[in-house]
């Protein structure tokens, strides 16, 4: 008997043994014994070391070059009819589920999704089939991943469409099967991945959520488990990437549903950063091809939350700063008096803060210098900047620059969000300064109280702006344009518009043509979509090209680079403006006490009792009273320094605060009722009162 015939015989005997519930090692032994009994002329084929699987060291049968035709095609009708004995069914199940070829051709062919789900549920409900099915699937997923490259027809994806319906994919015991499956899926060629994504697009939101949960759970269990297999973890991330792309076109989940908690809590972000394309580009100027296990979570940024991304941004800044410092030292060895300063130091007059800051910042030659830790000195005032002075600097300068009365921005009457004043008399340098200040605030962990609409952050990330973005920032204007698009009558006669835009500036009406000859071009039912698109483009881009362009330039001079590309617009806003999620329990845990107070002081216990009973609006008001912002740092209130000091004995005085230092000064009120009364009065009726 030739080698191929021996392999075929071994395959059949092994499958029969496993189908009868034997352990794979025992099944191999029995198959070899039976082959020996059947042949007195030729010894059976030897099972070599490379037939050992990577997981569990269980011997698997050598794969045949071509799958034999299964004894039967597995159908729902076959299962429900009971036409096969259990031993015969075990053999069919192993034959069908152990190889890709039979999974594609003989596993519930031409069945609907509902029928496949019903068939799989029937199979897993049979205790006598548990070992057989598990062994078969282990054989399937341990095939060489290079086989994936050979699958070039949509029919070859049937194996994955079936297995992704398996009801036990959430069972931790199936983790190795899920890992092997996603690795096979990862190595599909691009056309096959596109075909798989096209199939997923036909699914409903609940089914897409289930797919996402399967991949997320696999990543989570793998990261917290004893053995890390980064190749299969990143393969699962790549499957989530396909779902992210589907979600971008037809949303079925919020962007934060793609975060993985284990990746954001268990991961060593610094180690991940040095494996990332961001770091490798800095270090080598290029990215060579990388193996799957050498990838980084930065390659799948949707997995990381805004707090993790902010840490990576900081790592990236520190790396660039270190490179710049080392370069400076090397280039100045011959100049003994040359000194590389570790900080970016600004010396400003309080009454000339914009002028002084602008004058010094324009002299900074490189973006790496702007990434240095900031120290601010108010000329003529004592005090070392340990964070409070720089925070006060940001509060003063942004309040002045963003004040609509200053003329650089206008405020929408309804949303109170700010937009660039296209008729501003200020030079573009001031707009560039605001962009630089945003970047400085990011790298120094300062929360800014900005009231920019979301479209500003989309533009900073280079994303296109839509009517929905304009509608969110200027609801009245957006509503009018949307009504124009929805109108079912004669647009031209009812609206009587041309391709022009008019607005009032300094008491005079200014009219702009949206296209050449726009004043003579009527808006009709046929061209109204073009009109709205031109209108949105003019308001959000063309009219403010100089002002926004300078702002954009300043921001990217500080923050530009691949690390920023990790962020979504919503995450960038969180990074700059802080998080609206307020966990005062966490704040209590990290609070410090001074001047006679301690966590056990009766007054402090009154304070936290009152605060925890506050409504969300009251908590926001208290946070703003104490810190100058009603938002938490991007990493939460647990990452904020908060100090409560005793400010004298019991009295009727209101609490006061050093907002620049997150420092609350509290008289030692004698009762809880008095604490509640004094706090509420301070935070609700005296904005700016008592702030030091």
- Domain boundaries along the sequence of the chain: 53-250+259-265, 272-331, 405-577, 584-685
Mean pLDDT computed over 663-668? 95
Helix (H, G, I), strand (E, B) or coil at 470: helix
Our measurement of the distance from residue 620's CA atom to the centroid of its chain's CA atoms, rounded to an integer in Å, reads 26
Q: What is the per-residue pLDDT for 43? A: 37
| pTM across the whole model | 0.81
The CATH fold assigned to 584-685 is Hect, E3 ligase catalytic fold (3.30.2410)
Q: State yes or no: pLDDT of 54 exceeds 60.
A: no
Structure tokens at 26: 């025992």
Q: What is the per-residue pLDDT for 125? A: 93
* 660 noted as active-site residue: yes
Label residue 492 by pLDDT band (50, 70, 90): very high
In sign, the C-alpha dihedral spanning 575, 576, 580, 581 is positive
Q: State yes or no: pLDDT of 31 exceeds 80.
A: no
Label residue 7 by pLDDT band (50, 70, 90): low
Q: Looking up tokens 């950063």, which residue turns up?
A: 273
Confirm whether 405-577 and 584-685 share one CATH topology: no
Give yes or no for a contact between 405 and 334, defined as CB atoms under 8 angstroms apart. no
> Which residues 6+ apart lie within 8 Å of 195 measured at CB?
154, 157
Mean pLDDT computed over 426-451? 90
Q: Using CA atoms, how far apart are residues 102 and 109, in angstroms rounded to an integer?
A: 10
pLDDT, tens only, 272-331: 988 887 777 766 555 556 788 889 999 999 999 999 999 998 888 878 777 666 666 666
* CATH 3.40.50.300 given to domain 405-577: no
Share of the chain above pLDDT 70, in %: 84
Give yes or no for a contact between 227 and 186, defined as CB atoms under 8 angstroms apart. no
In sign, the C-alpha dihedral spanning 454, 455, 457, 458 is positive
Q: What is the per-residue pLDDT for 30? A: 59
Q: Using CA atoms, how far apart are residues 668 and 674, in angstroms rounded to an integer?
A: 10
Give CA angle at 196 (191, 198), nearest 5°: 95
Give yes or no for a contact between 632 and 683, defined as CB atoms under 8 angstroms apart. no
Of the residues 422, 577, 603, 660, which is catalytic? 660
Q: What is the per-residue pLDDT for 405? A: 87
Q: What is the per-residue pLDDT for 44? A: 37
Mean pLDDT computed over 108-137? 94
Q: State yes or no: pLDDT of 56 exceeds 50.
A: no
Q: Using CA atoms, how far apart are residues 503 and 512, in angstroms rounded to an integer?
A: 9
Q: What backbone torsions phi and psi does residue 392 show, to the nearest 5 degrees? A: -65, -40
pLDDT, tens only, 473-484: 999 999 999 999
Mean pLDDT for all residues in the chain: 86
Share of the chain above pLDDT 90, in %: 64
pLDDT, tens only, 581-632: 899 999 999 999 999 999 999 999 999 999 999 999 999 999 999 988 888 9
Integer-rounded Cα radius of gyration of the chain? 33
Q: Looking up tokens 């966590």, which residue turns up?
A: 599
């Amino acid at each position: 008997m030739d080698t191929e015939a021996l392999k075929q015989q071994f395959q059949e005997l092994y499958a029969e043994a496993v189908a009868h519930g034997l352990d794979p090692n025992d099944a191999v032994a029995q198959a070899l014994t039976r082959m020996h009994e059947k042949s007195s002329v030729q010894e059976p084929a030897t099972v070599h070391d490379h037939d050992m699987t990577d997981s569990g060291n269980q011997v698997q049968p050598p794969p045949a070059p071509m799958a034999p035709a299964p004894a039967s095609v597995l159908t729902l009708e076959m299962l429900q009819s009971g036409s096969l004995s259990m031993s015969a069914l075990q053999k069919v199940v192993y034959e069908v589920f152990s190889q890709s070829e039979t999974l594609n051709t003989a596993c519930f062919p031409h069945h609907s999704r509902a029928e496949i789900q019903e068939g799989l549920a029937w199979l897993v409900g049979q205790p006598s089939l548990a070992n057989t099915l598990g062994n078969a699937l282990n054989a399937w997923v341990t095939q060489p991943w290079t086989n994936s490259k050979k699958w070039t027809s949509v029919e070859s994806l049937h194996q994955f469409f079936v297995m992704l319906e398996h009801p036990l994919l959430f069972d931790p015991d199936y983790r190795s099967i899920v890992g092997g499956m996603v690795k096979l899926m990862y190595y599909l060629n691009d056309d096959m991945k596109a075909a798989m994504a096209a199939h997923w697009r036909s699914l409903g939101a609940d089914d897409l959520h289930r797919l996402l949960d399967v991949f997320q759970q696999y990543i989570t269990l793998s990261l917290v488990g004893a053995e890390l297999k980064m190749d299969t973890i990143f393969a699962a991330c790549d499957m989530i990437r396909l779902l992210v792309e589907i979600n971008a076109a037809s949303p079925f989940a919020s962007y934060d549903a793609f975060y993985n908690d284990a990746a954001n809590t268990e991961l060593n972000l610094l180690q991940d950063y040095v494996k990332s394309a961001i770091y490798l580009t800095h270090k080598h100027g290029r990215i060579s091809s990388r193996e799957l296990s050498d990838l980084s979570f930065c390659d799948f940024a949707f997995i990381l939350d805004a707090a993790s991304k902010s840490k990576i941004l900081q790592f990236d800044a520190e790396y660039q700063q270190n490179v710049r410092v080392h370069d400076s030292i090397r280039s100045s060895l011959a100049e003994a008096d040359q000194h590389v300063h570790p900080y970016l130091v600004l010396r400003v007059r309080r009454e000339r803060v914009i002028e002084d800051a602008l004058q010094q910042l324009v002299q900074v030659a490189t973006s790496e210098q702007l990434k240095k830790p900031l120290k601010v000195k108010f000329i003529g005032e004592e005090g070392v900047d340990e964070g409070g002075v720089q925070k006060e600097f940001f509060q003063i300068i942004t309040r002045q620059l963003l004040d609509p009365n200053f003329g650089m921005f206008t405020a929408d009457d309804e949303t109170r969000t700010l937009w660039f004043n296209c008729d501003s008399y200020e030079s573009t340098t001031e707009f560039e300064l605001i962009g630089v200040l945003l970047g400085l605030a990011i790298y120094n962990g300062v929360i800014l109280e900005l009231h920019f609409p979301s479209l500003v952050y989309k533009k900073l990330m280079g994303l296109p702006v839509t009517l929905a973005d304009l509608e969110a920032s200027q609801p009245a204007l957006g509503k009018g344009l949307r009504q124009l698009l929805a109108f079912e009558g004669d647009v031209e006669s009812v609206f009587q518009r041309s391709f022009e835009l008019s607005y009032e500036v300094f008491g005079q009406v200014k009219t702009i043509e949206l296209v050449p000859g726009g004043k003579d071009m009527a808006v009709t039912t046929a061209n109204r979509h073009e009109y709205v698109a031109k209108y949105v483009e003019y308001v959000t881009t063309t009219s403010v090209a100089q002002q926004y362009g300078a702002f954009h330039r300043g921001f990217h001079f500080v923050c530009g680079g691949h690390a920023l590309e990790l962020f979504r617009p919503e995450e960038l806003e969180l990074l700059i403006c802080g998080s609206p999620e307020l966990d005062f329990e966490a704040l209590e845990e990290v609070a410090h006490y001074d001047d006679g107070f301690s966590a056990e002081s009766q007054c402090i216990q009154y304070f936290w009792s009152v605060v925890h009973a506050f409504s969300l609006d009251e908590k926001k008001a208290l946070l703003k009273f104490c810190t100058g912002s009603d938002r938490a740092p991007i990493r939460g209130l647990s990452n904020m320094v908060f100090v409560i000091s005793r400010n004298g004995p019991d009295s009727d005085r209101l609490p006061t605060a050093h907002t620049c230092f997150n420092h609350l000064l509290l008289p030692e009120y004698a009762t809880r009722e008095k604490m509640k009364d004094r706090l509420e009065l301070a935070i609700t009726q005296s904005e700016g009162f008592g702030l030091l």
